[in-house]
Amino acid sequence: MGDSVALDVLEHEHDVIRKAAAGMEALAARLESGRTVDVNLLNGVVEFLRVYGRACHQRKEEDLLFPALARRGVPSVGKPLGSLTFEHLKEWAAVGALAGAIRSYAAGDRDAPARVIALLREMAHFYTDHAWNESNLLFPYAARVLTPIDQAELLAQFEIVDREIGKDVVERLARFGEKLAEEAA
């Protein structure tokens, strides 16, 4: 077992999230070309963001990784942890706005497609940038600060998060995120 077991899990989730972000761009392009998108697929994006992005992934970072780093002396306010937590909050607000825009789209509101397009793009850019910051700046730093025992403990706690959500749910949503670009085509 490698020493970066916990960070490897988060990195894998970032891969899924990056693919889902590409899928959100593809959905936005489809709507922009005047074609319709199945409301179930759009609601699937919201579920992916809420359950996989927030309840599964961000919770592992905010509730488990960041406190573990703070215990190793990384400041919990300011950069990097305070800023990343603030970005999570902004993402969370944008998911609520997207869910609202999708409801208007489903109701046939004429202005809704433009709002759905803008929010899908905003979320896609946001997630891509945020994952880049964590993968390229935070995780290499975390890999130096955390001990192998810290990482093993985090891995066990990550397992509990997945089990609470349901491993089958997490896997289904990961596949949804990975295949979103194909579905959107």
Report whether 12 contacts 174 (CB < 8 A): no
25 makes contact with Fe ion (CB under 5 A): no
Query: Of 128, 64, 122, which is closest to residue 97 (Cα–Cα)?
Result: 122
What binding mask, one character per residue, do residues 78-117 give for Fe ion by CB under 5 A, x or -? ----------------------------------------
Cα 178 versus chain centre, distance: 12
Retrieve residue 116's tokens. 């759905």
- Residue 75 beta carbon to Fe ion: minimum distance, rounded to whole angstroms: 19
Q: Is the dihedral of CA 147, 153, 159, 163 positive or negative?
A: negative
**Which stretch in 29-37, 70-78, 128-136, 176-184 sits in contact with Fe ion by CB under 5 A?**
128-136
Q: Which is nearer to Fe ion, 62 or 122 (CB)?
A: 62
Question: Which of 25, 91, 134, 150 forms a contact with Fe ion (CB under 5 A)?
Answer: 134
Give the nearer residue to Fe ion in terms of CB position, either 116 or 138.
Answer: 138
5: its two tokens: 């077991």
Nearer to Fe ion, 30 or 130 (CB): 130
Where does 48-166 have alpha helices with state H?
59, 66-71, 81-106, 112-133, 139-145, 148-165
In the complex, the smallest distance separating the C-beta of residue 165 from Fe ion, rounded to whole angstroms, is 16
Which residues contact Fe ion (rule: CB under 5 A)? 134
